[in-house]
């Protein structure tokens, strides 16, 4: 038998060192708990970075996947398959939008959204120098295209030159966005709630004004709902709570609740005048296995009233975290919506150290940009789990 130390050493000997991993080898999950190979139990308030909305070992979800494995895992997109059509119907309905393209990740959903926006503008005027406005402190992924719209100099610098025609504006600062608009602007792209950048929700006024100027100038609004979507903020998609509908939306993370799948979704108006046969493709994207998962995820969300649980238990989480701002001198601010919450910590208390202490004490939380503790638990947590988390966190923040 291998010890945890041996597993970690073996991994470090062969995996490319792009992560400084926590010294834990996870083995199995049950409900909202994870277990490492030594049998130590962790309350999970990270959900594999906002992916495992249904927690672990959900029976109906697992059965659906097992059933599909025995039927068919992959076909290529040269043919139709049943789960893809079902999953697309359910996603389009939940998103109140019309056309779906399945990808293998969030990053690829961003790539597709950017291509759709450029093609839309190209069809309009035939020119090839269109611009996209993205936000500072945003995160959209690590491929060259997604990195190009990610407002983080540290991530971008070593990989330049990136794709051209990208301008950055300050999130929640409407004048800063309008200052970047030119006759070349084809899209404005942002997360409805910034995740990696430190948990910053868009302000309602800001988003409404952006939508208005997009409509006025026929600029496409692309909302990245990869982290904040799929019920995490209390509505199926966070923008639904703002009453601001995007032209294109990206989705991933909790879309498959554990299998790698993303999507970009658009209105019929954009679909009619953007990507056509031959413009875009993927071998794996939307294969029967992942789509069986997506399809089942939507069923379970409905049957188990997931967004409702986020609204009630999320409000409680928000209240309890808010109390820490009062009671702990290390906690400066609480930000977020529903079950996407952040605590900004004082400089003398690095969030990374708190995370390590929490892990030691059997609680999984993660960080976000700017010394922030991030809470993105499975959306099935109950009040008692919030209490359990708060007990551990309170101790670790002393
Ligand atoms: C995680 C994330 C991405 C990238 O998704 P991957 O599946 O890691 O490629 C893009 N945008 C946001 C907002 C994210 O949180």
Cβ of 141 below 6 Å from ligand 1: yes
Q: What CATH number is associated with residue 99?
A: 3.40.640.10
- Distance, in Å, from the CA atom of 281 to the CA atom of 216, rounded to the nearest integer, reads 32
Cα within 13 Å of Cα(174), Cβ side: 12
* CA 328 to ligand 1 centroid distance, Å: 31
Q: Is the same domain home to 311 and 296?
A: no
319: in domain: yes
CA-nearest of 80, 117, 142 to 286 is: 80
66: in domain: no
Q: Is the same domain home to 337 and 257?
A: no
Indicate which atom in ligand 1 lies nearest the CA of residue 105: 7
pLDDT digits (tens, 9 = 90+) for 27-38: 999 999 999 999
Max CA separation in the chain (angstroms)? 65
| Mean pLDDT value of segment 45-66 | 98
286: in domain: yes
Instruction: Tell whether omega for the bond before 161 is within 30 degrees of 0, i.e. cis.
Output: yes
248: in domain: yes
63: in domain: no
Task: Write down the pLDDT at residue 69.
Answer: 98
Q: Is the same domain home to 138 and 251?
A: yes
Q: Write b or e for each residue in 41-70: b if 16 or more Cβ atoms lie within 10 A of its Cβ, otherwise e.
A: ebbbbbbbebbbbbbbebeebeebbeebee
pLDDT digits (tens, 9 = 90+) for 283-339: 999 999 999 999 999 999 999 999 999 999 999 999 999 999 999 999 999 999 999
Q: Is the same domain home to 238 and 155?
A: yes
Q: Is the same domain home to 262 and 333?
A: no
Ligand 1 binding pocket mutation candidate from 102, 105, 107 (most atoms within 8 A of CB)? 107
171: in domain: yes
Q: Does residue 2 carry a pLDDT above 80? A: no
Show the domain range for 242.
72-303
32: in domain: yes
Q: What CATH number is associated with residue 324?
A: 3.90.1150.10
Contact between 337 and 373 under an 8 Å Cβ cutoff? The reply is no
Indicate which atom in ligand 1 lies nearest the CA of residue 146: 10
* CA 107 to ligand 1 centroid distance, Å: 6
Domain-ending residue, one of 303, 328, 350: 303
Q: Is the same domain home to 80 and 52?
A: no
Mean predicted lDDT score pLDDT of the chain:
97
User: Ligand 1: which residue has its CA nearest to atom 11?
Assistant: 140
User: Ligand 1: which residue has its CA nearest to atom 6?
Assistant: 106
Task: Write down the pLDDT at residue 1.
Answer: 52
Quick one: tokens of 244?
A: 């601001």
Number of domains in the chain: 2
Q: Is the same domain home to 130 and 157?
A: yes
Band (370; pLDDT cuts 50, 70, 90) = very high
β-pairing, 166-169 vs 99-103, is: unpaired
Cβ of 139 below 6 Å from ligand 1: yes
* CA 93 to ligand 1 centroid distance, Å: 22
Q: Does residue 374 carry a pLDDT above 80? A: yes
Q: Is the same domain home to 372 and 280?
A: no
Domain-ending residue, one of 258, 274, 303: 303
Q: Residue 29 is inside which H or E element, if any?
A: strand 26-30
pLDDT digits (tens, 9 = 90+) for 121-166: 999 999 999 999 999 999 999 999 999 999 999 999 999 999 999 9
Q: Is the same domain home to 53 and 78?
A: no
Q: Is the same domain home to 244 and 370?
A: no
Q: Residue 118 is inside which H or E element, if any?
A: helix 106-125
Which residue is listed with tokens 């875009």?
280
Task: Write down the pLDDT at residue 97.
Answer: 98
Q: Does residue 64 carry a pLDDT above 90? A: yes
* CA 196 to ligand 1 centroid distance, Å: 9
* CA 283 to ligand 1 centroid distance, Å: 20
144: in domain: yes
Domain-ending residue, one of 303, 323, 356: 303
Model pTM above 0.75: yes
pLDDT digits (tens, 9 = 90+) for 172-214: 999 999 999 999 999 999 999 999 999 999 999 999 999 999 9
Q: Write b or e for each residue in 167-193: b if 16 or more Cβ atoms lie within 10 A of its Cβ, otherwise e.
A: bbbebbebeebeebbeeebbbbbbbbb
Q: Is the same domain home to 128 and 158?
A: yes
pLDDT digits (tens, 9 = 90+) for 242-296: 999 999 999 999 999 999 999 999 999 999 999 999 999 999 999 999 999 999 9
């Amino acid at each position: 038998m291998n010890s945890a130390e041996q597993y970690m050493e073996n991994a470090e000997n062969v995996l490319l060192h792009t992560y400084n991993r926590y010294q834990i080898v996870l083995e199995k999950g049950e409900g909202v708990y994870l277990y490492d190979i030594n049998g130590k139990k962790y309350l999970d308030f990270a959900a594999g970075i906002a992916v495992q909305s249904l927690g672990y070992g959900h029976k109906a979800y697992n059965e659906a996947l097992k059933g599909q494995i025995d039927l068919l895992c992959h076909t290529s997109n040269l043919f139709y398959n049943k789960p893809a059509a079902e999953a697309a119907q359910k996603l389009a309905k939940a998103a109140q939008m019309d056309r779906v393209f399945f990808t293998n990740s969030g990053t690829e959903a961003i790539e597709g959204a950017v291509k759709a926006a450029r093609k839309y503008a190209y069809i309009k005027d035939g020119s090839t120098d269109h611009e996209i406005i993205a936000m500072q402190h945003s995160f959209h992924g690590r491929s060259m295209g997604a990195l190009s719209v990610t407002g983080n100099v540290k991530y971008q610098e070593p990989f330049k030159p990136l794709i051209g025609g990208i301008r950055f504006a300050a999130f929640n600062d409407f004048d800063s966005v309008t200052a970047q608009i030119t006759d070349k602007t084809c899209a404005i792209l942002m997360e409805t709630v910034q995740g990696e950048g430190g948990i910053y929700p868009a302000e309602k006024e800001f988003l409404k004004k952006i939508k208005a100027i997009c409509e006025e100038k026929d600029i496409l609004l692309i909302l990245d709902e990869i982290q904040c979507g799929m019920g995490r903020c209390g509505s199926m998609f966070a923008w639904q709570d703002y009453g601001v509908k995007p032209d294109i939306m990206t989705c991933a993370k909790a879309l498959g609740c554990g299998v790698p799948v993303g999507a970009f979704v658009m209105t019929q108006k954009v679909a009619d005048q953007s990507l056509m046969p031959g413009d875009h493709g993927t071998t794996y994207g939307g294969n029967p296995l992942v789509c069986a998962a997506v399809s089942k995820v939507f069923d379970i969300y409905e049957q188990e009233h997931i967004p409702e649980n986020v609204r009630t238990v999320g409000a409680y989480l928000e209240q309890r975290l808010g109390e820490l701002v009062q009671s702990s001198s290390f906690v400066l601010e609480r930000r977020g919506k529903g079950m996407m919450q952040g605590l900004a910590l004082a400089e003398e208390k690095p969030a990374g150290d708190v995370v390590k202490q929490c892990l030691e004490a059997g609680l999984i939380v993660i960080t976000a940009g700017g010394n922030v503790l991030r809470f993105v638990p499975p959306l099935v947590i109950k009040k008692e789990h919030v209490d359990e988390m708060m007990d551990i966190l309170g101790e670790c923040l002393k």
